[in-house]
Amino acid sequence: MAEETFRTETKGMERYPGLTAFLEGWGIFRQSLLGKIGLVLLIMFALMALCSYIPPLIDPMYNPMTGVDPVITCSTGPSRAHWLGTDFMGRDILSQLLAGARVAFMVGVSAAFMSIVLGTAIGMTAGYMGRFMDTFLMRLADMIMVMPTLLVVLILAAVFGQLNIWTIVLIIALFRWPGVSRIIRGQTLSLKQRPFIEAAKVAGASHVRIIFRHIMPNVLPLAFLFMTFRVTSAIIIEAALAFLGFGDPGTVSWGMMLQWVWKTGHMFKAPYWLLPPGICISLITLSFYMLGRAMDEVLDPRLRKEDQTD
Amino acid sequence: MDSQERILLKVEGLKKYFPVRRGFFQRTAAHIKAVDGVDFAIAEGKSVGLVGESGCGKSTVARVILKLLEPDAGRIVYKGRDITPLSPKEMKPLRKEMQIVFQDPFSSLNPRMTVGQSIEEGLRILGLSKNRRQGRRDELLEMVGLSAMTADRYPHEFSGGQRQRVGVARALSVESSLIICDEPISALDVSIQAQIINLLKDLQDRLDLSYLFISHDLNVVGYLSDTVAVMYLGHVVEYARADTLFEDPRHPYTRVLLSAVPSVEADLTSKIKTLKGEVPSPMDPPPGCKFQGRCPLVEPRCKQGEIDFSRVGEDHLVRCWKAT
């Protein structure tokens, strides 16, 4: 009886493909402590990123890059005007921190998204076409996978001088697809053998139709799961790069803030300046990781706890 | 073989070998002779049953006929036209006439498509308008005993039997005249099996369909088929009308198969002949009769040379010396 009422309730929603699956997934996600912590942290950072637009509106001196407090000429601790203090030339650390959250999201999400799109496309092509294409693409993936991304970006930065933040994003994406494509290829290989693909062929479906209508919808959840892990690695790479002094000098990222602390010799003198960006980098990567782990549980029934009756 | 009736599909000397690759350079070391000489014909509106144990190549025959796999030798003649050399593009217009129902109702439907979308796919490829597609879809769902309301549901909301009905509806969606049923009931509960068989039989009467019914269950094949081909290790060993085969099986393998059919009468169970030994590897079958290693009637001449069909009655062919 209960099931009957459930059916009638969800009937309207079933017209929207994916919505029922989403709600089902959300039910499982909600039970994961890791996922909840991750989500709360992530919402916090998202709010920080949104708030980053506010300080420059209050006073131009709160502009994270160019705003300088006219009365301050060296790094000062927290005060009423600067809640987290100022850096060596009197810029507000709080507004820098907020701007850094925006940059972290931008870098993390866009680099991850690009590498996922690339990895999924290449993985599906390799898995579906097989033979020569498979061998070629996978050996290419192997070659890129063994290259240390950070080192390659450092070399590129050394060769081409200062890199624009979008160039950095693009390079991270270009070096981070092989892991995704391997997973997607494996999934495609297994899907390719399923009878519903044969049924589509018997119905006269073209290869393009089979790839986009039958294989892609079945690998996308996995691709998005990997996106959360890729976000983490993209943020870390960008931070490391900026800290080492190869970041985009026109962007205030947390890595950049750490670099300023270090370069101006405030490493052990100004904890109010050193700690916030450091903690933020750790927490944002942690939150994406926890989110990914929780989503893993949603997508892979084998990882679910025993007591969940379904 | 069938003289007066119009032949819909004729398969002659069909062979399919799968290469076994070994070593660093992936050289072809051997071939698995999955299908090694299969002949049969299906008349319009009739059914042919293909029986045999696991691994004898039944499903490969189905896939080769549908050109999902390319045959290595032999001819597939559909409505008098040799479709063996057709390219995938040339096959496309024929796709709507030859359909398949799969064994496993769980993996034969795309989990991310509603059953309606799955049923409509063939029609969409044919370019039907949305209205006509949906009309046809609802009609098909009703035809296989499901409600038209279920079209928006996803496969995971259905039971195995219901999914198999959806699979049948999908096979019927286009103007199918030949439906290959690849063990359509072996993954279902016994109670559901009967429903699906009755559905298939009923649809055949209503729509004048031809079936190639693949199964390892002789009872089911006997009930549904007009003609039965018994397969062993890649080729057909006996070919006869269903009633003839049950009354007068000639090949020793067929006899063993028939004696193994479960029966309600208890005293019959004691007479089951069990076969000794294993099925030889399809990579390297013995010369001569493929059944020689397990045959109770084996004699020296069985081990030399290919054994051809001998006619033992009207429409009754057997690949055995002893049968004549």
CATH code assigned at B56: 3.40.50.300
Number of domains in chain B: 1
pTM for the model? 0.80
- State whether A196 and B109 contact (CB < 8 Å): yes
* Residues A50 and A32: beta-carbon distance below 8 Å: no
State how far residue B164 is from chain A, nearest Cα, in angstroms.
12
SS3 assignment, position B14: strand
* Residue B210 falls inside a structural domain: yes
pLDDT class of B166 with cuts at 50, 70, 90: very high
Decide if pLDDT at A139 tops 80. yes
* Residues B125 and A205: beta-carbon distance below 8 Å: yes
User: Which of A196, A201, A218 lies closest to B68 in CB terms?
Assistant: A201
Q: Give the residue numbers in A contacting B (CB under 8 Å), as ranges.
A: 14-15, 17, 20-21, 194-196, 198-205, 209, 213-214, 217-218
State how far residue A284 is from chain B, nearest Cα, in angstroms.
32
pLDDT average, residue stretch A251-277: 88
- Mutation site, A196, A198, A210, A212, interface B, largest B CB count within 10 A: A196
Q: What is the CA radius of gyration of chain A?
A: 23
Q: Can you state the angle between helices A271-299 and A33-51, rounded to 10 degrees?
A: 130
* Residues B114 and B152: beta-carbon distance below 8 Å: yes
pLDDT at residue number A147: 87
Residue A241 exposure: Cα atoms within 13 Å on the Cβ side: 36
pLDDT at residue number A125: 93
- B243-299 pLDDT, tens digit per residue, is 888 888 888 888 888 887 776 665 555 556 677 777 888 887 888 788 887 888 778
Residue type for position B34: A
Higher pLDDT, B248 or A17: B248
Decide if pLDDT at B314 tops 60. yes
Q: Going by C-beta distance under 8 Å and a sequence separation of 6 or more, which residues neighbour residue A285?
A: A232, A235, A236
* Residues A278 and A258: beta-carbon distance below 8 Å: yes
Instruction: Give B-chain residues touching A195 at CB under 8 angstroms.
Output: 102-104, 107-108
Per-residue CA distances from A95 to A79, A242, A265, A278 (Å): 14, 18, 21, 15
pLDDT average, residue stretch B173-201: 88
Tell me how many residue pairs between chain A and chain B have CB atoms under 8 A apart.
67
pLDDT at residue number B267: 57
pLDDT at residue number A5: 36
- B79-115 pLDDT, tens digit per residue, is 888 988 888 888 888 888 899 999 888 889 988 888 9
Instruction: Give A-chain residues touching B120 at CB under 8 angstroms.
Output: none
pLDDT at residue number A11: 44
State how far residue B305 is from chain A, nearest Cα, in angstroms.
37
pLDDT at residue number B155: 87
* Residue B38 falls inside a structural domain: yes
- Mutation site, A3, A7, A202, interface B, largest B CB count within 10 A: A202
pLDDT at residue number B221: 87
pLDDT class of B213 with cuts at 50, 70, 90: very high
pLDDT at residue number B246: 86
* Residue B207 falls inside a structural domain: yes
d(CA B324, CA B310): 7
- B117-165 pLDDT, tens digit per residue, is 999 998 998 888 889 999 999 999 998 889 888 888 888 888 888 999 9
* Residue B153 falls inside a structural domain: no
pLDDT class of B30 with cuts at 50, 70, 90: confident
User: Which of B102, B125, B153 lies closest to A203 in CB terms?
Assistant: B125
* Residue B247 falls inside a structural domain: yes
pLDDT at residue number B180: 92
pLDDT average, residue stretch A186-209: 90
Residue type for position B139: E
* Residue B274 falls inside a structural domain: yes
Lowest mean pLDDT among A20-34, A130-144, B37-51, B209-223: A20-34
pLDDT at residue number A42: 92
pLDDT class of A301 with cuts at 50, 70, 90: low
Interface predicted TM-score of the whole assembly (ipTM), two decimals: 0.84
Determine the structural domain holding residue B259 and report its residue range.
Answer: 7-97+175-318
Instruction: Give A-chain residues touching B116 at CB under 8 angstroms.
Output: none
Backbone angles phi, psi at B21, to 5 degrees: -100, 140
Instruction: Give B-chain residues touching A217 at CB under 8 angstroms.
Output: 110, 112-113
Q: Which residue of A has its CA nearest to B109?
A: A196
| Sheet with B310-313: strands ordered across | B98-101, B178-182, B210-215, B47-51, B227-232, B235-241, B316-318, B310-313
pLDDT average, residue stretch B217-235: 88
SS3 assignment, position A110: helix
Tokens of B174: 């286009």
- Mutation site, B101, B121, B154, B179, interface A, largest A CB count within 10 A: B121
Instruction: Give B-chain residues touching A10 at CB under 8 angstroms.
Output: none
- State whether B95 and A203 contact (CB < 8 Å): yes
User: Which of B112, B113, B125 lies closest to A204 in CB terms?
Assistant: B125
Instruction: Give B-chain residues touching A8 at CB under 8 angstroms.
Output: none
- As a whole-number percent, the residues of chain B with pLDDT over 70 amount to 95
pLDDT at residue number A304: 58
pLDDT at residue number A9: 41
Q: Give the residue numbers in B contacting A (CB under 8 Å), as ranges.
A: 63, 66, 68, 92, 95-96, 98-100, 102-104, 107-114, 118, 121-122, 125-126, 152-154, 167, 170, 174
Structural domains of chain A in order of their starting residue, each with its CATH number: 48-75+82-303 (1.10.3720.10)
Tokens of A109: 């999400």
Decide if pLDDT at A156 tops 90. no
